[in-house]
Chains A and B, each alone.
Chain A
Amino acid sequence: MSYELNRKLAARREPLPTSATVDPVTAAIIRGGMETICFEAATYLGRAASSAIINQSNERNGSIVDAHGRLAGAAIGTPHLTFVTGLTVRYGLDRQHDYDWGPGDVFLANDPDYGGGHLPDYNVYAPIYDDAGELIMVQCLQAHQGDTGGKDPGGFTLEATDIYTEGMAFPCLKLVHRGVMRQDVFDMVVRNNRLPEFAGDLAAMIGGVQHSVRLMTDLIRKWGSDKVKAAINYNVEHTEKRVREEVSAWPDGVYEADVYIDHDSIGKHKDIRVHVACKVAGDKLTVDLTGTDDRQELVGVWNTFGNSRGYVMTQVVAMMDPTINKNEGFFNAVEMIIPEGCIAHPPPNKPAALGSFHPACEITEAVCVALSGIVPGRAAPQVYKMGMPNAVIGFDQLGRMWLDQGVDSRTHDSSAVEGMDGWGSCPAALGNLLLSQVEDAEARFPMLNMSREMVQDSEGAGRWRGQPGSLNVKQVLAPTTAMTWMVTVDHPLRGMCGGDDASPYSNRFRVGAPDEVHIDVSANEMLPSGSVIAYQYGGGAGFEPAIMRNPEAVKEDVLDEIVSVERAREKYGVVFTGTVEDFDLAVDIAATQALREQMGGERAA
């Protein structure tokens, strides 16, 4: 629990010892086999878990770490979980003798100061040994939990100034010893969680990794552990080589960006800065966060060191050939400088829950902005800039907590890239998060979902435009606690290469009541039955200036009521004849040309 520990955990690790060699095809087949098993374990978890955030939203991840703590690939699910797994496991690995690791064991870890992300991201992992008793790899399943036993239900405390406020932290806790559940430990963990379905989730995670261990043991027997180790080494080296080839194709230089968070979680400190300098020199990429805010008095905006590495990597990976295998080779090829004491590498015991949103997303966004000029075809930030999602929490007649997690915004942050409009509901690298559905949620929670449509004229304009934002409106049907932290108003998601920023977020509680409130900073209050909440997320940002957009594409947007006739004129410089109502809209070419020339002149001036 120190900067020194972080340095040790993050240091480059050696390949696995083996005298075996492997041909590329066999290495690929073994990798495919591992990926398949991992996929099955994550699927098992998704199907067996009780809470919506896992079984509906898919916020879970399966990955394999090798015996040296290197990400061996085989990741499925949520990228930012993929890239933080390694450090969490390394802590346990480095102390395996102290913790009496052995075949059949299953561990739990979530400690922000021991390689982890924020407390809700539980990592349940199991070491896998060959028949000779040699540790070969570790199967991990991570999933976001709806509660962590801290001060506030849900695990997010806006004013928290230390980790203890947020709940229980486990550096490396043994849940299963040599195949036998440690029931006292399991019960203690379950007792410290408000959600009744948590026991089922934890059991599903344990069952998932045990399922994988059985299959992976068969795979090791089939190929022999030396061959498997050689394949892991080959695949990691191959990824490093591919990443370096990509970087080599980028022009040398230093590319910098600043991205800001509106304020911290108590609203006292404004314009919190994330600074990134991406240095490209030959085949070497360095991502340097020096210059990022390090005011120690900031509240809520502390992202764990493990998370910061993961969020940098999520964007770097997204800006490269998607067919490169995701493993430790990325970390080996990319140097990161994350200064100790800044909000991306906090001192011990800082709160960690909200930092996983901000500055985590701004780190990702800043990497994207910095590299957008040299990788325009993949310059879309992989973020969710929603402050914290609206957490709506209540208790049933038996006093059991329920949580309707607010990661149900329909569109957010789907930005354009060069040549393509933003689409879908969220950035691609969050694409495994399946949004919750009204017909599931309303059967469980006293809640009426009133709307979740896209909002006209909320797209980030551009030659290629962002997806419009969406307005979610809900009515609570029982007294309910609602909590939120609002950012992305003063500093919305950035447009790329001259494209417009996404539209700002907004959030209102008690809509239509005399005491309706527009939330500027944060809220944590009990809403009476019948209260309506409405939150609009900002959609995606644009790419290149809007007056370069094909007028026919603007016409299609107007017909689809994504863009109004007025905005088409003001933002895109497109003038029409006909009407939307009669479906006879046509671009007035001469008027459009004249208006665009005028706008171009003004822009240049």
Chain B
Amino acid sequence: MGYRVGIDIGGTFTDFALLKGNDVILYKNLSTPADRSVGVMSGLQKLAEMEELPLQDFMGRCDAIVHGTTVADNTLIEMNGALTGLITTEGFRDEMEYRRGYKEDIWDLRLEPPKQITPRRRRLTVPERILFDGSVHQALDEDAVRAVCHRLKKQGVESVAISLLFSFVNPEHEKRVAQIVAEEIPGVQVSCSYQVLPRAPEYDRTSTTVVNAYVAPRVYSYLERLVSRLEEAGYGNQLMVMQASGGVMTKEYIEGSPIRVLASGPAGGVIGSAHVGVAKGYKNLLSVDMGGTSYDISMVLGGAAPAVAGWNMHHRYLVGVPMIQVETLGAGGGSICHVNNGIVEVGPASAGAEPGPICYGRGGKQPTITDALLMLGILSPDMQFAGGSFSLSMDGVTEAFQAIGDEMGYSAEDAAFDCFRVVNANMSMGVRRITAGKGVDPKEMCMLAYGGNGAAFAGIQAQELGIEKVLVPKASPTFSALGTLVADPAIDEERSYITPADKVDPERLKALWAELAERARKYFTDARFGAGDITARYQLNMRYPGQNWALNFDVKVAEGLDDMDFVDAGIGAHAIEAFNKRHMQEYGHIREHEVPEITGVRLATSVSTASPLVGHGFNAPSRAAKVSRTRRANLGDGFQEVPIIHGPDLEPGNEIAGPAIIEETFTTIVVYPGWRAVLDDAGDYEMTREVTA
């Protein structure tokens, strides 16, 4: 029997989910920021020990190791990516700074600009020009390219983004610039827009390429180290990496465009949420993931979390690749609490895993949300933390909050409670922002909380949002890792081809789809999947002339990649009919006398893999849970003695009335006053609000 291992590397913890048959085993340990692959390997060692196997044997039995990483996201949150330069077409130096005029809050005249990844001194231009039909209007000035390289080299750039006008139609100039850059700045990382996001318009493509260049060296070095360690340890298959689109794919594929791993950890969690939520009968979910560094919010509607390509503003930078929509706030257990001009603030700076919160006893000096939870009695120095990795310590915690209290004029406990309130408000506003754009009232959804700190805040979050039901899966603390086991390997790519639909050249369509199919075939077969196992969705992007946004729809869904018979002389008429149907469905009208245009072809491919089974139902007899002890804690109504329950002792059917604190191996679940928690047949927690305001 082969193992499948899901690994999610977060800012603070690395989570593991081991699937063997229908059983799932969970584990987590601290991330190792200096070299995150170290934490991965020590976790795999632990899993091997649990299976009573030597590491080599264990690794040899692994059919797949799948993982999601926040390396790219953390790079953008902390803005510590590569020193990046941009080479673009003469006359278009400043598009990155203009942002197409976009400002996040049109009413706030004090909104700060995002930090420039490529400040003007590193945004340089070269004479050249390709027109919309791919013809060369002005030849590339290669001497100018070399001069630009000289300027970038002098500034010590580590990564270069190349984005020239209309390169998605004709990439020859970009390819040549890339060659010259490689010659003139040896060892520098190069990202070309025709590879990263081969589509119009220029700001979207350029921004995506710049962000790719900024995060690429960090992602590469991490993946390289990890793969070599896995190989040394005896793993013989390809490493699969979670993508923002919700699919996984091989490291080799990811290296063509590492930006695809941005938000991949959160995407894994969302895929996991959908899987668990649907199994338990909840198709509309508000998924909240609070880990050590960030708070990620997303939605599952109708049991699915679709990926959206295009105008994705991520950490204030436009990233155009397909992404599951996840809103990330700098609010995690490690978020630092501080006073700014008389106002208590939390985050976005995080203490991370090293030095971590003060209570980790690893040299952290600044108070964090985890420290606040300790002050409030929600966490305790008596309990084992993170699966018994270590215990928390009060040393220095009270003093740190007293310093905040001194500035604000109250006690250390008051200061900790204020920090708790502030981080709660930040999270509620984040939820409202993401639900507002979807026409969904959070009240009508079920909250699914995961991440190490998700269950500590879920109840009070739900209460603020009017939500009556909260799910906390047993796998909650390692949910993103579980999600990577659920996600299927997938490649979703497109190529630009602009033509009136009635003048489409079937051979050109075939050639473009064939190019995409060949890429899919190569990467899937390299990953030891059979070409016949691939489900292929041949899609077109189309719009009416003048429209800016194209609609995407399936032209053919095929099992296997070889079926291109549907592309014949009638494809244009078929496409027009299908587009009009889609337009009517989306917008309620069609333009009978207009011929729509094709803007691109897309091929979405995937292979179905085994997923963990999810139990559900409430057939176990209901009974009260055993209270092991009480502890002085403040759950929002002031300090009082609160029942403490040992999570591993609980069984399906157990009921816990709030206020109560359940100490699980990897997380702490707070049952707030007015709430009741019940363990379902699978041992997952379902919390219901009993007293409504």
Show the binding face of A for B, using Cβ within 8 Å: 29, 32-33, 35-37, 39-40, 44, 46-52, 55-56, 79, 197, 199-200, 203-204, 207, 210-211, 215, 317-319, 322, 326, 377-378, 380, 410-411, 417, 419-420, 423-426, 428-435, 437-440, 442-444, 448-454, 470, 473, 559-562, 582-583
Cβ-defined contact, B588 with A207, below 8 A: yes
A-B contact pairs, 5 of them (CB 8 A): A37-B439, A52-B548, A200-B544, A204-B587, A377-B109
Q: How far is the CB of A556 from chain B (nearest CB, A)?
A: 8
Show the binding face of B for A, using Cβ within 8 Å: 90-95, 97-103, 105-113, 119-121, 129, 131-132, 137, 154-155, 165-166, 168, 200-203, 432, 435-439, 441, 443, 466, 498, 544-549, 586-589, 591, 594
Q: 8 smallest A-B Cβ distances: which pairs?
A: A451-B91, A437-B201, A431-B103, A50-B546, A560-B120, A439-B200, A55-B548, A322-B107
Q: How far is the CB of A40 from chain B (nearest CB, A)?
A: 5
Specify which of B113, B200, B466, B591 is in contact with A440 (CB 8 Å cutoff): B200
Cβ-defined contact, A35 with B108, below 8 A: no
Cβ-defined contact, B121 with A560, below 8 A: yes
Cβ-defined contact, A428 with B587, below 8 A: no
CA gap between A110 and B318 in the complex, in Å: 36
CA gap between A444 and B131 in the complex, in Å: 12
CB neighbours (8 Å) of B120 from chain A are 454, 560-562
Q: How far is the CB of A437 from chain B (nearest CB, A)?
A: 3
Cβ-defined contact, A440 with B110, below 8 A: no
Given A426-B101, A435-B100: A318 in contact with B91 (beta carbons within 8 A): no
Of all chain A residues, which has the CB nearest B588? A207
CA gap between A79 and B107 in the complex, in Å: 9
CB neighbours (8 Å) of A380 from chain B are 109
CA gap between A350 and B120 in the complex, in Å: 46
CB neighbours (8 Å) of A33 from chain B are 441
Cβ-defined contact, A443 with B132, below 8 A: yes
Cβ-defined contact, A429 with B155, below 8 A: no
Q: 10 more A-B contacts (CB under 8 A) besides A48-B587, A439-B166? A: A36-B438, A39-B436, A48-B547, A204-B589, A207-B588, A207-B589, A423-B113, A425-B101, A428-B109, A434-B100
CB neighbours (8 Å) of B109 from chain A are 318-319, 322, 377-378, 380, 417, 428
CB neighbours (8 Å) of A204 from chain B are 587, 589
CB neighbours (8 Å) of B137 from chain A are 448
Of all chain A residues, which has the CB nearest B548? A55
Of all chain A residues, which has the CB nearest B133? A443
Cβ-defined contact, B588 with A211, below 8 A: yes
CB neighbours (8 Å) of A453 from chain B are 91-94
Cβ-defined contact, B108 with A47, below 8 A: no
Cβ-defined contact, A29 with B466, below 8 A: yes
CB neighbours (8 Å) of A79 from chain B are 106-107
CA gap between A29 and B110 in the complex, in Å: 27
Of all chain A residues, which has the CB nearest B551? A47
Q: How far is the CB of B467 from chain A (nearest CB, A)?
A: 12
Of all chain A residues, which has the CB nearest B587? A48
Given A50-B547, A51-B546: A326 in contact with B107 (beta carbons within 8 A): yes
Given A200-B546, A437-B201, A443-B498: A428 in contact with B105 (beta carbons within 8 A): yes
CB neighbours (8 Å) of A429 from chain B are 106-107
Q: How far is the CB of B243 from chain A (nearest CB, A)?
A: 26
Q: How far is the CB of A450 from chain B (nearest CB, A)?
A: 5
Specify which of B95, B110, B439 is in contact with A215 (CB 8 Å cutoff): B439
Given A438-B201, A438-B202: A410 in contact with B98 (beta carbons within 8 A): yes
Of all chain B residues, which has the CB nearest A433? B101
CA gap between A457 and B636 in the complex, in Å: 56
CB neighbours (8 Å) of B547 from chain A are 47-50, 55, 200
Of all chain A residues, which has the CB nearest B438? A36
Cβ-defined contact, A424 with B437, below 8 A: no
- Among A55, A203, A377, A453, the most chain B Cβ lie within 10 Å of the Cβ of A453
CB neighbours (8 Å) of B100 from chain A are 425, 434-435, 437
Cβ-defined contact, B103 with A424, below 8 A: yes
Given A55-B549, A378-B110, A431-B106: A424 in contact with B98 (beta carbons within 8 A): yes
CB neighbours (8 Å) of A473 from chain B are 91
CB neighbours (8 Å) of B119 from chain A are 560
CA gap between A376 and B548 in the complex, in Å: 39
Cβ-defined contact, A203 with B589, below 8 A: yes
CA gap between A148 and B92 in the complex, in Å: 33
Cβ-defined contact, A470 with B94, below 8 A: yes
Specify which of B103, B202, B546 is in contact with A52 (CB 8 Å cutoff): B546
Cβ-defined contact, A420 with B110, below 8 A: yes
Q: How far is the CB of A233 from chain B (nearest CB, A)?
A: 22
Q: How far is the CB of A370 from chain B (nearest CB, A)?
A: 16
CA gap between A481 and B98 in the complex, in Å: 28
Cβ-defined contact, B92 with A435, below 8 A: no
Cβ-defined contact, B107 with A50, below 8 A: no
Q: How far is the CB of A571 from chain B (nearest CB, A)?
A: 18
CA gap between A200 and B90 in the complex, in Å: 36
Q: How far is the CB of A229 from chain B (nearest CB, A)?
A: 19
Given A50-B545, A425-B98: A432 in contact with B106 (beta carbons within 8 A): yes
Cβ-defined contact, B107 with A318, below 8 A: yes
